[in-house]
Amino acid sequence: MRDRIKAQKRAKELVAQMTLEERASQLRYDSPAIPRLNVPAYNWWNEALHGVARAGVATSFPQAIGMAAAFDRELMEEAGKVIAEEGRAKYNAFSTKGDRDIYKGLTFWSPNVNIFRDPRWGRGHETYGEDPYLTGELGAAFVEGIQGDGEVMKAAACAKHFAVHSGPEAKRHSFDAKASKKDMWETYLPAFEKLVKEAGVEAVMGAYNRTNGEPCCGSKTLIQDILRGKWGFEGHFVSDCWAIADFHEHHLVTATAKESAAMAIKAGCDVNCGNTYLHILKAYQDGLVSEEEITQAAERLFTTRFLLGLFDETEFDKIGYERIECKEHLQTADRATAEGVVLLKNNGILPLKKENLKTVGVIGPNANSRGALVGNYYGTSSRYITVLEGIQDMVGEEIRVYYSEGCHLAGEKVESLSWGQDRISEAVSVAENSDVVILCVGLDETLEGEEGDTGNSSASGDKTDLLLPKSQRMLLEAVIKTEKPLIVLNMTGSAMDLCRAQEKADAIMQVWYPGARGGRVIARLLFGEISPSGKLPVTFYRSSSELPDFEDYSMKGRTYRYFEGTPLYPFGYGLTYGDVEVVSVSCGGKSFMAGKDERAEKLWENGAQTKVEHMASGAGPDEITLGKETLTVRVNVKNNSSEATGEVIQVYVKNVDSSMAVPNGQLWGFQRVFLEGGESREVSLEIGRDAFTVVNEEGERVMDGSHFLVSAGLGQADERTRELTSKASIVFHVYVV
């Protein structure tokens, strides 16, 4: 294990030899060399949301939201390990040549564990979805994979953006996100807390916005009271890029750059991504900051560098360039793509059978788009395989593949001198001449992304609604009119209004931004070499009219936990080619069988707060009493089909007593399994004590109420999930004493 005390001691000794000017210079993201102390230059800014980014070739994983859809902790840890190894390989190669440029260090500003509270937010695809428990579990596994558990940290991860940050992008430099204490501690902070206290994340990045009046990168409440105080965080804190300049330029909480620099460093922000810390020495001269505050920040940063072994010989120095984009890493990326694709609808058309096809039509602006493969914050792949190319490679010479772009991604036409919708007639011709049509619609980073990185200037990366661009809606209608068998692939990083596709298409897949070579895996899914098994980490609503105002940070009416309507596709939902069912659940010495009790399910649905007594499997009243221990839920699953498939067992808990409880229940356990055709297995899940608590209006997690419902299934225990899957979860009672 790493010895932080030793690293802190070495950092303190090294910093003590520096002049104040030298110490201050090290607080920039592009820290200069100090030759007299043999301290090389170091650039703290590197990115790795889904693979090492922006520094040349690296293994390309699906965008973060696509990896989240796998509901797979082990996969997230493996992805982190790949990133760390390739990051080390690059660092070793570049640093020996004196190349210490941006994006070439070992401090990765990932993962993004903000809560995707509203599907209109452009950066939501960088996150792990809308649920704080899922986000925390996946984020922790990712951090552990990146950092490793050895004496030397393999690379440093960073939890961002702390905290209460999820749009609007257009106003983020001046926006004040106002959140109640309950929403803070129930929704916005838990994932950060888990990454700090359990995963030991080495860095935390502040957000651009204010939270309840305080700029996040200069917030005493967030950085001192919560992060370093309550949670005991010992790593370093970094600002988002040029966020400290926002203090005086947009938030107007300070008047000058030196005041902004002083506010940030006094709050505990150690690294300035930007240039405001160039004013640190002026702030010192004017008495706004102390030498001790500058020194402390420098010591924290050098502690991280010593933990990374950057001043020593380490086992990681031998990681060679051949590990970049190697066969094993590409296989891990393919696995991530395969596990994350979500099958939303299938009337039996999938998987496609080659022997039944002579022609396949591949249509749509994302069918042959590299941009739609990679999302944002991406590295370079030595090869890209689009959906069209994947299908062409899959069928070879056996089947004729017709292709049409169909329409511009969002514009009126493809060719500037043409009439509007200049590819529609070609698309219709392709459809008419095809046995089956695969329509690839969606977005890319130019339509949903980060402010400043997007061409969608009217919304600065956010979406104004959940509709596909008009050009694509027109294309969808034209293809529907041909009445050919239709499979829709939606390539987005967020929930979209897919009502029309749900009504008319024969099958729908949510394939996210599947990674540079994702087209090959998607083809394998379409033709049944792999069964889809992803689950939605976000709710798919029917329209944005069902949602509260985008700028309202209250959780009321948002996400599956608080939504009052009926979603198009619920959180946790996803189909497979297999036929897996939860046969029984064992818990607290009792056994509960599928299909034996509808009353508990009805109680879950209507939220009644009355005790329901009933018998289950002849085992007596369906009650489990829980003391101080965790709850062990053993779920027996069986694949009734001959198709091998992955699945995700999910456990939700609902408090039916407390007025402070999450109204629709919450995910508190999940486990991915793989089942061969006909295989049965028992999966054991540990449900922690927090599942049987609530967060009150003061932000305190407390016991309130004794009667809980627990559901175990392949999704939520809601009516819409049952309607879409024809399967019900097993619901039982737990009484906490």
Q: Which of 511, 332, 337 is nearest to 439 (CA)?
A: 511
240 catalytically annotated:
yes
Local structure of residue 271 (DSSP, 8 states) = B
Candidate list 72, 240, 462, 622, residue with the active-site label: 240
Q: Measuring CA to CA, which residue among 459, 432, 433 is closest to residue 448?
A: 459
3-state secondary structure of 326: coil
Q: Which two tokens stand for residue 6?
A: 């030793």
Determine contact, residues 130/538, Cβ cutoff 8 Å: yes
Among left, alpha and beta (phi > 0; psi -120 to 50; other), residue 298 is alpha
CA gap 47, 110 in Å, rounded: 6
Distances 710 to 228, 400, 436, 589, 687 between C-alpha atoms, Å: 35, 51, 43, 15, 10
Measured between alpha carbons, how far is 265 from 279 in angstroms, rounded to an integer?
11
Backbone angles phi, psi at 294, to 5 degrees: -65, -45
C-alpha count within 13 angstroms, C-beta hemisphere, residue 22: 17
CA 495/CA 68 separation, integer angstroms = 14
The torsion defined by the Cα of 75, 80, 82 and 83, in degrees rounded to 10, comes to: 140
| CA–CA gap between residue 611 and residue 457 (Å, rounded) | 54
Q: Which residues contact 190 (CB under 8 A, 6 or more apart)?
A: 132, 133, 136
Torsion angle of C-alpha atoms 169, 174, 180, 183, degrees rounded to 10:
20
CA distance 79 to 200: 18
| CA distance linking residue 485 with residue 320, whole number of Å | 49
Residues 6+ apart with CB under 8 A from 720: 566, 567, 570
- Smallest CA-to-CA distance from 186 within 438, 542, 562 is with 562
Beta-bridge mates of residue 675: 645
Between helix 470-481 and helix 424-432 the angle, nearest 10°, is 30
List the catalytic residues.
Answer: 240
